[in-house]
Structure 1
Amino acid sequence: MRRLHYFDGLRGWAALVVVLHHLELTFAPELQGQKDAISPILGPFSFLADGPLAVAIFFILSGIVLSEGLKRTEVTNPVTGLTSLILKRWLRLSLPIIAAGILVLTLFALLGDRTVETGRLTGSGWIEDLFPPGYRPDLLEVLHEAILGAFIGPNTPLHDPVLWTIRVEFLGSILVFALCLFVRSGFARLAACALAGAALIATPAWLLNFCALFAISVAISDLRHLSTRDDQEEHYRMLRDITGLGMIFLATCVYPVLDLHLPVFMQRLGEIADPAGHLSQWTARSLLIVGGLILSRSAQDFLSRPPSLFLGRISFGLYLLHVPLLWSVGGSAYIAMSRHWPHWAAAVVASLLVLIGSGLAAAIFHRLVERPAIRIAAKASNLRLYALRRAS
């Protein structure tokens, strides 16, 4: 798994970008451009608050890491293996979601709903409309959403809006398991990934369009090993490194500038690449970033450093907890400070409180919730496999 450390680092920075995206939406909505994440003020640095791009990267990385894990797992019966892996994945995700839901209930009880007042003061329609009018979550509702609704429900759980990604994550994980367990041959699996990805992208449904990234990630996992040979000549390694960095730079910095100043050209380019219009710009850019990372040793070294790996470890907790802390702690702090301070000063201090509080909470969450959830999920999966073997 040493070679996958840089994927963990990228996931950590992507989680931080999602936090910055929601801070921008809440405290600086004027920075947001007409194209969701492309800010005319931030320009080439728009990727620093490009939440949709970060989420697309999450999906690709999840598929790659799951695929790599399955390569070291011996499964004799694909059907029983699939059911056990689904159980493991469900527990791995649902237990932390339950804990995050309990935090939401606690914050509502202590501070109440701060979203409407915060949104009116900052001019943010996003935070003002985060919850339905008069929304008050209860324990049974949160448990239902954490156990079932977040995975297969028709609507996003109300208590934590970032949970819309869990439906994609869960269905995409099942697709990865099926591709890896039922199609064992290399070339056959690449063909199956290509067909599944093309079919999902062609389908006019956003959920399935996102699931296509998981099929593509299985192919990336299989092809990744072609670029990790240690016997490459120095000039070839340098060429790969420059190419990879160029791909990352193109996806992060160049695209926002072109999309701002040459919108017609970029629109036509997108129509040529995807006539059906289901392949989003974030999908294409996320693939460029992950592909560039696989090629670039310099980017891998940066993302394998301790700060990046720390962010990677706490990334799921950071993703789950930052919105509850944003509307409660951040909103309450901004409301109090805005009575005496100018908007920008109150927004900066409130944002720092949310960033620091989310990081600390995510670190505690990783140790006390995530790690036990991983162990419980693994034991439950092993028990199911054992019971199925005994029954057969």
Structure 2
Amino acid sequence: MKETVFPGMASAPATSFGLTADQASFAETTRRFAQEVLAPGYKAREAAATIPLELRRQMGELGLIGVEFPPAFGGIGADHVTAGVVLEAISEGDFNVGYIQLLGSLCGAIVARHAAGDIAAQVLPRVISGESLIALALTEPHGGSDAAALALKAVRDGDTYVLDGEKTSISMADQADLAVVFARTGTAAERAHGISAFLVDLASPGISRTRFSDLGQHAVGRGSIFFDQVRVPAQNRLGAEGSGFVQVMQGFDFSRALIGLQCLAVARVSLAETWAYVKGRKSFGRPLADNQGVTFPLAEAETMVEAARLLCFHTLAAKDAGAPHTREAAMCKWWAPKLAFEVVQTCLLLHGHAGWSTELPFEQRLRDVLGLQIGDGTAQIMKLIIAREALKAVSA
């Protein structure tokens, strides 16, 4: 039986990347959940501006959060390619719900590697089960792309640190119950070497939060977190003092490939729906698909999406192999969100007036993927990283 994402619209083609039997099984389980549970509520979750706890619990029960973590933390010890397969399938049903897996993987990895053993053992099973949600609190009002220019201070006071300052543009700021917070423990002159990371309970006294009114990603939400003399136990510091910046930069290579797959999933679903539409829709007595002016743009989009998708999986495979992949991760991050936006726009236009309607998903998808041309590293920063890596190779 043909599965559908939206009534009358074809689903995305099955995942293919030389998957193992286990990976293919995960892809099928996740895709079924995405199409039967996530896709029908895509617009409703946007209207409610939240991803319900109960839905996160369902994902946790199916083992769809943090699959790459070991069984001791509640995961299954899968590789990073499998994590990408799962995130891609989730995002086919709802781009925004993909953030649950994305944040769980990015923030969870920092906690797993750098938190005290007893803290990691308490926190990670809750994240992987869907009970807890960890936000990444890095960006500040005057330090967007310059992530090392942090002003939020963490001052040691006995067995606690006192945090003062603001984090802004934080995804899921008002929904998360925990945050990995990066703060300055050294001097401003030390730049990246003076930054430390802390696991902070967002119910702590002195914390307040706001939510922004954004163009898209309403179910995720973005906002500021304010810290006013917030006391954090010293044992909640993640790793050595001054090592926080290195921790988050290492994690971004993984998350950038995941973001690429998250955005491309939306493009793939939109393409599948549009091929079905142009095959069935008639104009001047003939299917729209008889016109090369219709099919050629879709053929070009199929080619570009497939190439970008393979790049994302190549990056994850490199991570699994322990090979350098910073350059490839940056390529994923600048290209995939831009490409996804362009593809969804093409699909919207080929649906004519119907595509312009809010009854179809294209307008929401456009708004949702656009934000990731900004968040988690702009295209300009990604190109700087690629250029830096290329010049290293030349000098070597």
TM-score by length of 2: 0.27
Q: From the two aligned structures, give the one with the greater helix fraction.
A: 1
Q: From the two aligned structures, give the one with the greater strand fraction.
A: 2
TM-score by length of 1: 0.27
Q: Name which structure has the greater RCO, CA cutoff 8 Å, separation 6+.
A: 1
